[in-house]
């Protein structure tokens, strides 16, 4: 990430962005990691796990789940720039929260549509959950996460927030499949995903609106500056 010229001129670089982050911005790091968990877990839940669920649990041919995810991604290509425009127009938080609220409300109807075993309804479920809900959260999170942190620790903060949430995201298909196998029902898996969506919603609610803030942190960090 390019260092702003104002940061260089005012000698606002820090010796250790990681230590500065832990000392001064740890609350925002936790908020960022929690907020990002919804699209991290959701991306795996509504794509990889969804395909496995259609094949192993519903007994459908692989083409149904694969086609649904492909259509969802195609819709997502149109959703992403629209979300970017809306974030600039109305702010990051309201758009982010709208996407998360939709995912929270749609998680059980999503499975109801899958359970019909009707390809058209399955495609609709995947498009709405993955192509719209997850993509809204993912698109809004880009600017939102970066603007949560000061210039001294922005790159480190965003990277750590993603690093914290990535392991659980990577394990999501395995965890969700195990929950389905253990309960012979989708409800535990749905509750698992729902928990992260609620967590993300609460974290975004707790965060400030970041639209229009100065991207240069003017806080006093003299003790951490380079000589």
Contact 86, 194 (CB under 8 A): no
Q: What is the pTM of this model?
A: 0.83
3-state secondary structure 100-138: HHHHHHHHHHHHHHHHCCCHHHHHHHHHHHHHHHHHHHH
Does residue 220 register a pLDDT over 50? no
Compare 152 and 65 and report the one with higher pLDDT. 65
pLDDT at position 5 over 60: no
Domains of the chain with CATH codes = 41-207 (1.20.1250.20)
Per-residue CA distances from 96 to 23, 125, 143 (Å): 27, 20, 11
| Mean pLDDT value across the chain | 85
The confidence score (pLDDT) of residue 14 equals: 64
Model confidence at 98, in pLDDT bands (50, 70, 90)?
A: very high
- Alpha-carbon separation of residue 200 from 86, 121, 141, 166, 222 (angstroms): 20, 27, 11, 14, 33
> Rounded to an integer, what distance in angstroms lies between the CA atom of residue 57 and that of residue 63?
15
Contact 131, 75 (CB under 8 A): yes
Is the predicted pLDDT of residue 138 greater than 80, yes or no? yes
């Amino acid at each position: 990430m390019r260092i702003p010229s104002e940061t260089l001129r005012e000698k606002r670089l820090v010796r250790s962005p990681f230590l500065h982050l832990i000392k001064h911005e740890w609350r925002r790091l936790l908020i960022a990691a929690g907020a990002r968990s919804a699209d991290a877990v959701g991306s795996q839940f509504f794509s990889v796990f969804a395909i496995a669920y259609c094949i192993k649990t519903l007994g459908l041919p692989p083409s149904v789940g694969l086609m649904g995810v492909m259509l969802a991604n195609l819709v997502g290509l149109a959703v992403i720039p629209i979300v970017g425009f809306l974030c600039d127009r109305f702010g990051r938080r309201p758009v982010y929260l709208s996407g998360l609220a939709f995912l929270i409300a749609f998680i059980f109807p999503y499975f109801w549509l899958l359970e019909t075993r009707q390809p058209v309804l399955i495609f609709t479920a995947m498009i709405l959950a993955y192509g719209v809900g997850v993509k809204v959260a993912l698109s809004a999170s880009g600017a939102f996460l970066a603007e949560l942190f000061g210039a001294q620790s922005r790159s480190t903060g965003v990277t750590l927030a993603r690093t914290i949430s990535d392991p659980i995201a990577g394990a999501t298909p395995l965890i969700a499949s195990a929950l389905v196998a253990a309960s012979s029902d989708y409800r535990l898996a749905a509750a698992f995903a729902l928990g992260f969506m609620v967590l993300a919603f609460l974290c975004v609610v707790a965060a400030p609106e970041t639209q229009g803030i100065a991207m240069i942190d003017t806080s006093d960090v003299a003790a951490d500056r380079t000589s």
